[in-house]
Structures are given as structure tokens and as C-alpha cells.
A and B are shown apart, each in its own frame.
Chain A
């Protein structure tokens, strides 16, 4: 691990000042992703700005009809908070199914959204494109767990799969991300928070590097929401594929649907063609096979992950069976 300065920030404002003061600064909260990256030398910050003592970043608050989740709320808290379990079930599901208990206790929701890809080439000694190199080693190498959507080189040179479970849930729940920079407070829809990386911007995150996430804002929750994932073993694994589905219902009829996926594209993605096909349908009489077929339409699997297309369709059908039950 490289030598670094360590500063403590007691407020978002102080954090942004510290971040602006020194280039190569990184925010540390739970540290569950940052510390392993530092140990491997993938990230070598000159300064760490510790926000773990913020007083108001770890609360879940009701603001009228909306819910505000502090950036430092842990995944364990989100998994068990009755308000989240009741109104934003998909988020509680995603947090419960993520990682392992120790990681969920330390890991914060803000940090979870910013976590780096799990691609072994990115995390290894390879000078991969995302880290500033010339090529994506996974595209022609080991890519069994990589993306099946947005994999064309003109879409994304990096074919890693986005690892965050909560991100897909939050995307389906129409979340906003609030953040602070020296210029002041801003917010961005989660749908715009993630971007496909480009030669000029080799990152999946749109907010500036000196920004610090302060909270996540959720609009009124849908009648029904759910998140499910397929893993290589029963727990403590990133998703081979994850499906988040939020349904606005009128009795048994679907007024609106939002479907988001994790683990199958470089960033969490919405699948609007399926959402449209579900709109106005009776939940009990959905055509699962057709919808699953529609879901995986246009998938562009890599050399080793054709199976993910079928797996994703199967997982989606499982989700549909569960929401009908």
C-alpha cells in the first residue's frame, strides 16, 4: 500500500474542501472496496478523507412523501429497516443479498454505488483500458462473468459487469443521488449517475472526482418491488445477473413497470422495451416466456458468457413468478 495523508471531515462541506485541496484524494467511509484496491495498488490516493464521523449521514429520514437515505447508511441497516423493507422492498432485498454480513455492516450505500468493477484484469496487474491502458483484456480473455449487454466496442470498450446490487434496485425505484462539491450541493437521477466509459472519461460514474455523495432520495415507493440475483454460490458473491422490478399497480393491473439489471452490463441498465410490454397488462396474466424473450433480445454475449442470456431469462421468470404469488 502506498503512503498517504489522512484527514477527517466532519461535514460534507469540509470533505469537499479537503478533496479540492489535494489532487488524488479519495473519500473513505466503510472502506470495504477502497482498502482492497489500495492494498493491490490499483488505487494509490495521496490523501484519504475519512467521512465516517459525519453526524447526519447515517440516517433514513421521511421527507414528506419522499425518503432520504444518508450516504453513510450501511447495507445491513437498509436490509432490515422496516420502512425500507415495506416501501422499497427491492432495495432491502438487494442489500440483504449483497456481500457477506461483515461487509454489509461496514459497507455504506454511497460507497456501494461508487465501487469499482470486479473484473480480474482491472483488479490485477494488467494495464487495462479502464485503468488508462490500450485494450480490454477480458474481451478476448476470461469473461465468463462479464457483460452481455452494451458490449459492442463502440458502446463500451470495457466489458466488465457492474457489481452493485443496490444500484439496480435504486434504478428501478427512480432514485436521485445528492452530492456536494466545492461549488455547492447538486443532485442527479441515478439513471444519469452511471455512464458508459469513453476514451476521455474512463469511469462509469458521471459525478466529478472531487464530489462526495451526501444522500439518496427516493420518491414514493411502488406498490410492489423486488430484487433477485443469481450467484455462483449461495452467498457472498457478486451477481451473475440481478433483476430489480418495481410495479405500480391498480388492483391486478400494471400501471407502470421499471425493470433494472445488474451484473450484465458495464453499468446498471433499464430495459424499457419490457417495461412498455408490461404496462397495462394484468399481473396475473403476464406472458412470462414472451417477456423473458423480449428481455434478452439484442444481448451481445462474449466468448464465454452465452449462458448468461439464458440465465438472465430464467432469473427474470423467477422474479415474475414471485411477484404474481
Chain B
């Protein structure tokens, strides 16, 4: 029976209460410490072969008979009014089949703040018109024939400028995102004034991070096809149900007539969680042309239109007693959200959550500029905030003369400050110990004293540590269906999508474990809104902890039905029967067993179908934890930084697939290294043009940059969090990497680089400041 309940759900670092419907009783939690036969064992990707042979059909690979190719005319100005658009010449170009502008499509897109094709262009790349043609070359030629008259308006391109009182307003809702009628989001507990009064040591510092671009290998894009009044969209997305809702709303269609498919995707990292305009534009063009239309973004569009991790400025003030207890944390943060984003990343999350501290105040301003909008990017806010916080904490340790790990142990908290409750599980101290072991120092050891590691000419060596906290508990709603075919093969259906993290494999393992069938008999069906019940978005490290329990429950339901059926044929009570590796076995009677297929033969075409749901969350707050230690070499003459080793240990609950998890850790560390060392959007400050929106000019780390990565999970089931005991793992590994590297650079050189990425320019500047300071001291 359906029950309506309220439960706490956390997404991308923000907790909110949701009303959800649950049904049935969830199974008891898988036990902590017990060895299972499929879950917890390394498994190859169930779709690895399709992916590496090219058989997997990504959105980019969808080619339909008669399909047209579309391109979009984009504003060359960061801020302008469109006075007129003349598409007549473009329409006359042979091969052009459809053109759409604001005249054909007057559709609200950003609520009351902007339309699909608006009359005001608010960043370089804003959509003016779109063309569908026989091929992409014709479509691009046609764009050049569209005549647009613009009235160029003054633009605001930097967050500092935009946040100034009296700055030119560039958005109908102002330049700073409002919370409860105020500029920015204020968080406060205790009294920071009191906290600083009782502090014996105080550090202050401003830390900056640059805009990071996602660079998913597959760009955003859609293919739209109409069959009568029904619309099918193939979309490279993290949220097929989100696309369905957004497209239906924009085109004023019932949900039942929109179908969204995403079987495989080439990366999203958060940027494909929101629905961008291309699906609707492709659908409009397809309707006019009466033919399917493909609209894939090119690399420049990918890097400028559909999201980024916005730049931040973080001003920290932290106080502590002389024996190393934090008394107050104060943070004022600004983060760039671009023009249309409606939320600011949780830059203050680490300051609020990581350490035991009674007095915390944070203010986060999400600041709009005439630049491409931010989108969630793998642990949005926490990656940036952790760099600032953990750098400041290390400065505090330096002032106190305390070992950074010792200090962190001392300020560890088992209690969640906001709720006053104990966490569902927290093994952060074990993460510190194990990462110290992995890096070769030994559990309980102190980090090397600054400058104490051997150097090689100008190459100075150092180590630094940073912590990780993040959500990742998941929650309802999520549904799954398990169907048993007459030949014993199993199909699991869920309306989710695999962002590429390997959740398809982990969820197949969960189904195989619960059913007692071999992993290779499971076929996991996902990525189609029409074929399966609702599955959540692939974001916020929620997929495994949200969908996993639903899959397990559906498998349990199917298993119980199978055993009841087997009970009849084997003349044994169902309670004495078990399913083990594709056999129905009888407890205590090894000879009393039958292959599952034999039972299924008996029932003909009756299809056993199990249903499963994600139940509510416990009242305890659920979080993931971790620690990383970086060992680096810094060339003090050229400012170059080499990362030699990263030891990463995270507490993400029960590990379902150790192989898949290690891949998540490797990928997170590399993306964190890029954020810390090389990745930075370059913008011409006069025009707002992004200057490095290509894969060669924008420096994502390469294999040659890859350090030795020693990765491990604590692998203890969180039996309170959900009945599979797992927490999410997609985002945790990116969070501490840049912070650990920054602390290691300091440990190697004594120079604190306070702005990311740590390019030779910034490293040499920090070394120069250090030299000036030291010379200043000597001359005094």
C-alpha cells in the first residue's frame, strides 16, 4: 500500500525535506562485515565491450533516415538587444529545411528572466536563431546569411564588478542571487564574535579559484523525431525524466507524448543535469521540417554555453586556542554563476561541516555576470571551498606549530552541527590513518616538517593533506522492476541513466546478489522514459544509494515469488529454499536442489516480476568522508609543479564494485589535479569572449601528468543509511585533491599559493612574495 511520508534528501551539498510516496516493506540491511558472493567483488563493466568496440549508441551516433542537421546562430555580444532578424536569404539557400527564431517560437525558458530566443542577449552565445539543413555545412552557411541588427549594451564581466553597490544591473532579478529577500545566503551558528574573543591564534586569508570547464568528451546534444503528435528525443543527459518534463513544458505537451532516450553517455560531470535548449530547438525544427533533426553542440559551444564551475573569492578568518581547538570560522565567499543560473554552489559547505566548531558564520554570494552560466560540476562548491578552508587550516597549524593531521584529529566531530545528531556513519579518522600508511609515513605518523624532504636541485619536495566531506546519501523516489525470463535470464528496468560511472554494473551486481543468480545473467535496462519506472538524475553521488536499494527490493520480491513457485514443484516450504548461483537449494539437504531454469520451464510463459522502491532516509544525517595526501615536487626556479603521488582514502559505505570505485577515485583525482594546477577559463575582459574553449588550449591533465595513485575505501557498510549500506562515490574523490596539492606545495617551498590553478605564474609570484618577506625580515 502506498504511504505518503516526509524524508530528508540531500543533493549537491544541500539538504531539504521532500514528500515522497513509499510502498511495501524494505528488506533488512545487508550485514556489515559479512562476505557476499557478488557484491563487494571486483566486476568488469557489464557494458565495457559495447563501449570499447563502438557498438554502444551514444546520442552523437544516432542517425535516422532523412535526418537533418541543425546549428544555432549565437550572439557575438556579451550584452545586446536584438532589433531585427532577417532570415529570408538563409531560407532560400538550397538544402535549408527549417529556420526558427523568436517569431516562430515565443517560449519562456528561464522563468520570467529569459526566453528560448530572447530579445535581449545576455552573454556571448545566447541563442538568436536556428537552422536545420541537409548537412551541417549548409546549416553553417545558412547562419552566415541571417542578418541581425543588434543594439550593443554595456556588459558586466567580472564578479567583483558585478557585486559592487551601484553596479549596472544585467539581470531582471539583480546581480546577486537572493535568499529570503537578502543578497546571498547567510548561515550562522553560535557567535563568531565570541569565538574570536576566546581565540588565542587567528589566521586570515583570501583564496581564489578560477572557472573550470567540464569538457565532457561527448558534447551536449539532441536528436528529435516526431511520429504524429508524439515526440522522441535522444539526449546526452544525466536526467532523462528531467528532459521529458522540461521539453513537455516548453512545447505545451502532455508528458505521455514525450519520450526521452539516453542509453549511453560520454560524460556529464554535472553539466548534463539541467536541460539546455538544444532538445527543444531540435524538436521545433523537426516539427517545421517534418523530418528528424540532430543538434549536437561543438566544442566551443560545449565549453561556453552549458555550464562551468564558477570562479570564487573566499575570505576566511579562523580562530583557535593555543592547544589547537577551533573557536570560530568566518567565511565570506563570492562565486560566479554566469548569467542564468539560479543557485550558487555551496562554497561554504566545508566551513560549515568539516570541523567541530560551535561558532560559524558564512555568507555566500552567487554573482551574475554577462558570461555563460555555471552548472553543477562534480561536488560544486565543495571542491572550491575545501581548497580555501584546508589551506587556511594548514596556515593555522603552522602558526600553532602543530602537525596538520594531529590538528584535524583534535577538531574531529561525530556530531552534525546543524542537526545536533550523530552521523549515520563516519570513518574520517580511519581515512587519515590509512592515507598516512599508503603514502608511506605510517598510521598515526606526523606529516613531514616543511622543507624536510630531500630536494633535487631546484626541485623541492613536499607533502600535504586535505580532508573531504560531502553528502551522497541519496533518497527516494527511485523505482526498479525485475523480470525473470523463462530461460532464467533477468532484466532489471529502471528509468535512470549511467553517466559513465559504472552504476549499471554496480546495480547489476546488487540484483545478482539478491536473486542468487550469476552476474552475467542480468541485463540492466535503463535510459528510456517510456520503458521503465522513474529513476533519479545521475547527480550528487546519489545513484547507487538511491537506486541500489530499489533494485535490491525488486530482486528480493522476485526471489520470494520464485521460491514460492519452487516450493510447489519441490514440495518443500519456501522458507527452507534458497537461490544460489542459479540453483534452487534446500537448507540442510544438498541433494534437494534444482536448476532455476527447470522450475521456470514448469510455469511456461508466466513472467515473475518484482517491484522495488527506495524507502525513506533515516533521521541521522548521511555524509561521505575522506582524506588525500599529495606528494609533489616544485621547481622553485620555473614555478612548475609535478604531482608524484596521491594517496586517497574515502569512506563511502559498503563498496559494491571495487574496480568501478577505483576508477571513480582515479578520475576524481585527475579532475581535481586539473582544477588545482592547469585548468582555467581565459576570458577577454573587454568583450567577454572565452579565449581557450578548445581541447588543445584548455589544459585538462593528460596521462603524462598522471601521478601514482594509491586509492582505497574504508568499506564499512552504513547500515543506518540504507539497506545496501552504500553511500555515493562519484564526487568525494575530487573534493580534497587541489587542497592537498596546495598544502604540499607549501610544505615543499614555504610559499602559500592562494589562487588556483597553481600555474608557474602564480607559483613564482608566491615564491617572490616569500623571498621579499624573508629579505624584509633580514634587513630589519
Contact = CB atoms under 8 A, between A and B. Distances in A.
A124 B124 CA distance: 13
| 8 nearest A-B pairs in the assembled complex, by CB-CB distance | A314-B637, A120-B691, A234-B704, A314-B638, A307-B761, A235-B704, A234-B705, A307-B764
Contacts of B764: 307, 310-311
B533 interface: no
A230 interface: yes
A274 interface: no
Interface stretch (A63-71, A85-93, A137-145, A212-220): A137-145
A142 B691 contact: yes
Given A118-B697, A121-B684, A307-B765, 4 more contacts: A142-B684, A310-B768, A314-B637, A314-B639
A321 interface: yes
A232 interface: yes
A21 interface: no
Q: Point out which of B76, B637, B685 has the most chain A C-beta atoms below 10 A from its C-beta.
A: B637
Nearest to A317: B637
Interface string A287-321: 00000000000000000110100110111011001
Nearest to A310: B764
B485 interface: no
Q: Which of B76, B696, B699 has the most CB of A within 10 A?
A: B696
A59 B180 CA distance: 73
B765 A233 contact: no
Contacts of B635: 314
A240 interface: yes
A38 interface: no
B702 A236 contact: yes
A295 B695 CA distance: 33
Nearest to B757: A232
B457 A230 contact: no
Contacts of A311: 637-639, 760, 764
Interface in B639-693: 639-640, 642, 677-678, 682-686, 689, 691-692
A115 interface: no
Contacts of B678: 232-233
A53 interface: no
A233 B702 contact: yes
Contacts of B76: 125
A317 B458 CA distance: 10
A185 interface: no
Which one of A230, A232, A305, A315 has the highest number of Cβ atoms from chain B below 10 Å of its Cβ? Answer: A232
Nearest to A231: B640
Contacts of B702: 233-236
A310 B639 contact: yes
A304 B689 contact: no
Contacts of A282: none
Contact of B692 (A120, A235, A236, A317): A120
Contact of A307 (B137, B639, B642): B639
A120 B697 contact: yes
A237 interface: yes
Q: Looking at B638, B701, B759, which has the most chain A CB atoms within 10 Å of its CB?
A: B638
Q: Most B CB atoms within 10 A — which of A137, A305, A313?
A: A137
B201 to A, nearest CB: 33
Contacts, number: 85
Contact of A236 (B696, B759, B761, B765): B696
B496 to A, nearest CB: 35
Interface residues of B, number: 33
A1 interface: yes
Nearest to B682: A142
Interface string A111-132: 0000000101100111000000
Nearest to A304: B761
Contacts of B457: 318, 321
A232 B691 contact: no
Nearest to A321: B457
Contacts of A230: 638, 640, 760
A299 to B, nearest CB: 14
Q: Could you say which of B684, B685, B760, B764 has the most chain A C-beta atoms within 10 Å of its C-beta?
A: B760
Contacts of A234: 642, 701-702, 704-705
Nearest to A235: B704
Contact of B686 (A141, A307, A314): A141
Contacts of B691: 120-121, 124, 142
B760 A240 contact: yes
Contact of A1 (B137, B637, B685, B686): B137
A10 B705 CA distance: 42
A120 B682 contact: yes
A232 B699 contact: yes
A184 B697 CA distance: 39
21 contacts: A118-B697, A120-B684, A120-B691, A121-B691, A141-B685, A142-B682, A144-B682, A230-B638, A233-B677, A233-B702, A233-B705, A234-B701, A240-B760, A304-B761, A307-B761, A310-B638, A310-B768, A311-B639, A314-B638, A314-B639, A317-B458
Nearest to A119: B691
B637 A313 contact: yes
Given A120-B697, A232-B678, A315 B689 contact: no
Nearest to B686: A141
A232 B682 CA distance: 14
Interface in A202-237: 230, 232-237
A65 B256 CA distance: 80
A307 B640 CA distance: 11
Contacts of A314: 458, 635, 637-639
A274 to B, nearest CB: 17
A13 B290 CA distance: 53
Interface in B245-297: none
Interface in B608-641: 635, 637-640
Given A233-B678, A234-B702, A307-B761, A315 B697 contact: no
B701 A233 contact: yes
A315 B704 contact: no
Which of B458, B683, B684, B699 counts the most chain A CB atoms within 10 A? B684
A143 to B, nearest CB: 10
A141 B637 contact: no
B699 A237 contact: yes
B328 to A, nearest CB: 36
Given A232-B759, A236-B702, A315 B638 contact: yes
Given A120-B697, A233-B705, A141 B639 contact: no
A107 to B, nearest CB: 13
Nearest to B76: A125
Nearest to B638: A314
A91 B639 CA distance: 26
Contacts of A315: 637-638
A292 to B, nearest CB: 9
Contacts of B699: 232-233, 237
Contacts of A304: 761
Nearest to A99: B696
